[in-house]
A and B are shown apart, each in its own frame.
Chain A
């Protein structure tokens, strides 16, 4: 049942505000931009309660993810009752892979509907097209019950206020204990679901799993006699790329210019850096020009696929999988996806490079973006918030449970074959299970690959290696109105220029001018708003 913001402000939030800050918050302040940050900070976030039934083989930390070498035998069925209310539930999402067979030809989907106790109707679009679909469906006022909102959507606060259910009373503090698997999502991730001083959604957590570094094809490097590569500076990193390039055979080391890796080598901030209340953007860092020079050097030396600038993720993945490229800059999620799409046979092996300092020492790796998306529920939905939260809770059942096994792998026999206790997906399984359930809600990623225990071992090892040095985006969870309106366009302009500079079409010195323009057309305003937001929330 949707709760109107006004009645709610009179009760829960004010109480929460008093509890947290000691001073009553003025009612209605949530709509006032200046105080939005304070109101957001005043929201009592859901209490984190770790679901402790399943013990990992490779225990994680706050940052490092849990690793599992085998799927636990006799997985526990953690949720007894079907979460649905018998009526169809609609959901709109993007799909990272190929569009799966429709429900009448998809046994996984049919079985899912049975288990949910409600028919789940999913409206899908590919990753590239989702933004268009999202914008037009919103403009058309045609919203599904469950809505996948990408974090870079313009003006999310206004959107959720007008269209989505306020879930604060169901999730804030200990109220979340009704949904134990949502409570199993660490508090940090809920920060990104708070707008206008209320919790408007359920997070699809990423963070560490989204942390990206240089992935490399272990098998291809081994064929050249390179084992456990560990470049100690940019020069060695560059030499390694040159060694893996054979342009005459149409092989290039890199799928794209590893600008982020180079920036990490130079300790350039992860989006925004905060020091003593002052924010600096990555664009302004003094080492940017050095980074661009280095990127330019790589392009000029021909170690990057010459078609890299078309920036089609699908092409990049094909090059890496097909052995046309040996290096790709991507995340742990992509690492798994590479094994999923593997067309190179059993020898196929991926690993990740740690990032060194540009000249020597250690680099400063960037922590991945906290959220894949926020999942919100439409105000006009005929379902109760409880039902939809129960569905989300079901989708967040963690690794080791029977629900997780079904959700990710489907039904034994058809979608996977059991090797020991490991569910090894069949071709049908890979195709039919890809219906985007992970975007309703998800547990934090567990490091695991069915039948390949070396994969989680490698992943766990590199995570432990970099975890202490991770650099965070200081703007996460802080609201800036200008950023929510202009961020995407501003960033695009800078990426455009970066592409032209590293291709040698524009001089490196153009960067400085562009940063000035960036500042005057919104960058400085974002900075002020972030600083304000931080000071408004200081100590809260």
Chain B
């Protein structure tokens, strides 16, 4: 009843009246909307170079149209493209399996700490790596685990055999994944911790009165409380699941070779910006973008089918 009386008058107002009523709010939104149009939507038009034999020195308009020619690397399965696709998918699955759940586990762990003080200190320390740029993170890993880094120098000076970690193509995907976990897990706990604090403590009390163990409480109270946010974040994550870390990879690509390290984003950069094949690079980038949008929309749809809110409401 209450909801009805709230929504009804809105629907009865004409568009013009609603605009008039919200004019101040709309005015406030205007700069933001203009910014998004100018820097997000207008540049999207540049994607037309995917259909052109684009030469930067001729400009977009003067370059010749080339139809679907640039997409031939995708449709005909150019080995360099397939290699990039394969590595991207491997990293996407590694990240979905290992990187995504890590902050949930960490948040649960932090939440179970009794001492507020220790919790706060632990959180601060865990947040720190997020604020380091990838250059620094990569350099740190290099200094610690590199062939002439701290670990191997120690091993060598004690006559032990060294471990080849950085620059080892076999461990490259694992290394990338570990770096992301080290850098961003702490930061990503924020949202989950916020959601945890929203769970009504009476639910826990009721559960323990009913004789639920800690594990049972976790299963029947905590996780259901987190479900909404987990699904929301997972859908958003799917949207850039094909973005597996451009800067991080470019910085370490040299040592392991492109067979193992080329992903779609570095493919676009290496072929477009450096190699001059702008059209092909744009085509690959465009397809990647479209696939990402489809993933998000599908996941959202699935969420709706299972009665969840998803990213937006129906």
Contacts and interface: CB of A to CB of B under 8 A. Distances in A.
B259 A500 contact: yes
Nearest to A504: B164
B273 A159 contact: no
Contact of A488 (B146, B275, B278): B275
A505 B273 CA distance: 29
A489 B57 contact: no
Contacts of B255: 309-311, 499
B134 to A, nearest CB: 14
Interface string B11-54: 00000000000000000000000000000000000000000000
A248 interface: yes
A489 B271 contact: yes
B148 A310 contact: no
B166 interface: yes
B258 A132 contact: no
Contact of B169 (A159, A310, A493, A505): A505
Given A139-B56, A305-B147, A309-B255, A154 B275 contact: yes
B271 to A, nearest CB: 7
A153 B148 CA distance: 35
Nearest to A136: B273
B125 interface: no
A307 B274 contact: no
Interface string A186-206: 000000000000000000000
A312 B251 CA distance: 10
A344 interface: no
Nearest to B275: A489
A497 B55 contact: no
A135 to B, nearest CB: 5
A155 B55 CA distance: 9
Given A306-B146, A307-B148, A311-B255, A500 B273 contact: no
A305 B148 contact: yes
A497 B257 contact: yes
B313 interface: no
Nearest to B60: A139
B57 A500 contact: no
Interface in B273-287: 273-278
Interface string B228-266: 000000000000000000000000101111110000000
Nearest to B257: A496
Contacts of B152: 306
A23 interface: no
Given A131-B274, A309-B255, A505-B169, A162 B58 contact: yes
Nearest to A137: B56
A492 interface: yes
A324 B153 CA distance: 13
B153 A250 contact: yes
B146 A489 contact: no
Contact of B274 (A135, A158, A312, A496): A135
B270 A489 contact: yes
Interface string B138-175: 00001000111100110011000010101101100000
Nearest to A487: B275
Interface string A298-341: 00000001110111100000000000100000000000000000
Contacts of B258: 492-493, 496
A330 B23 CA distance: 67
Which of A139, A305, A500 counts the most chain B CB atoms within 10 A?
Answer: A139
A321 B147 CA distance: 19
B9 interface: no
A138 B156 CA distance: 49
Given A306-B152, A310-B255, A488-B274, A248 B57 contact: no
B59 interface: yes
Contact of B257 (A131, A158, A307, A500): A500
B142 A307 contact: yes
A135 B273 contact: yes
A309 to B, nearest CB: 4
A387 to B, nearest CB: 23
A247 B156 contact: yes
Nearest to B254: A311
Nearest to A484: B276
Contacts of A539: none
A486 B278 CA distance: 13
A138 B257 contact: no
Contacts of A496: 257-259
Contacts of A138: 56-57
Nearest to B170: A505
Nearest to B49: A139
B142 A158 contact: no
A309 B167 contact: yes
Contacts of B157: 248
Contacts of B275: 154, 486, 488-489
A488 B276 CA distance: 10
Contacts of B166: 307, 310
A492 B253 CA distance: 12
Given A306-B146, A488-B275, A163 B257 contact: no
Contacts of A135: 56, 273-274, 276
A383 interface: no
A307 B277 CA distance: 32
B55 to A, nearest CB: 6
B254 A159 contact: no
Question: What 8 pairs between A and B have smallest CB-CB spacing?
Answer: A306-B147, A154-B276, A139-B56, A496-B257, A162-B57, A309-B255, A159-B57, A138-B56
Given A247-B156, A309-B254, 12 more contacts: A135-B276, A162-B58, A248-B157, A306-B146, A306-B147, A309-B255, A310-B166, A311-B254, A485-B276, A485-B277, A492-B270, A499-B255
5 contacts: A131-B274, A162-B57, A306-B167, A309-B255, A488-B274
Interface of B: 55-59, 142, 146-149, 152-153, 156-157, 162, 164, 166-167, 169-170, 252, 254-259, 270-271, 273-278
Interface of A: 131-132, 135-136, 138-139, 141, 153-155, 158-159, 162-163, 247-248, 250, 252, 305-307, 309-312, 324, 485-486, 488-489, 492-493, 496-497, 499-500, 503, 505
